[in-house]
Amino acid sequence: MTENHAYVIVKKVKLAESIYLMDIKAPRVAAGCQPGQFIILIVDEKGERIPLTICDYDREQGTVTIVFQALGKSTKQLAELEEGQAVRDFTGPLGQVSELVKMPREELGKKKVLFVAGGVGAAPVYPQVKWMKENGYEADCIIGARSKDLIILENEIGKYAKNVYISTDDGSYGIKGNVNDAIRHLVVEKGEHYDIIVAIGPMIMMKYVCILTKELDIKTIVSMNPIMVDGTGMCGACRLTIGGAVKFACVDGPEFDGHLVNFDEAMKRLSMYKTVEGRKMLKELEGDTHHHKGCECHEELPKNA
pLDDT of residue 233: 54
Give the CA angle between residues 285, 290, 294 to the nearest 5°.
140
Q: Which CATH architecture has domain 104-223?
A: 3-Layer(aba) Sandwich (3.40)
Task: Decide: residue 219, CB within 10 A, 0-12 exposed, 13-18 middle, 19+ buried.
Answer: middle
Residue 50's nearest CA partner among 30, 70, 31, 33 is: 70
Domain boundaries, the chain: 7-94, 104-223
pLDDT of residue 297: 38
pLDDT of residue 283: 55
pLDDT of residue 77: 95
Question: Same topology for domains 7-94 and 104-223, yes or no?
Answer: no
Low-confidence ranges of the chain (pLDDT < 50): 1-4, 275-279, 282, 290-305
pLDDT of residue 260: 96
| Pairwise CA distance, residues 290 & 280, whole Å | 10
| Pairwise CA distance, residues 83 & 85, whole Å | 6
- Give per-residue burial for 117-136: e unless 16+ CB within 10 Å, then b: bbbbbbbbbbbbbbbbeeee
What 3-state class would DSSP assign to 166? strand
Q: Which CATH architecture has domain 7-94?
A: Beta Barrel (2.40)
278 backbone φψ class: left, alpha, beta (φ>0; ψ -120 to 50)? alpha
Give the CA angle between residues 178, 53, 196 to the nearest 5°.
50
Kindly state the helix (H) or strand (E) to which residue 64 belongs, with its residue range.
strand 63-69
How many other C-beta atoms lie within 10 A of the C-beta of residue 229? Answer: 25
pLDDT of residue 298: 36
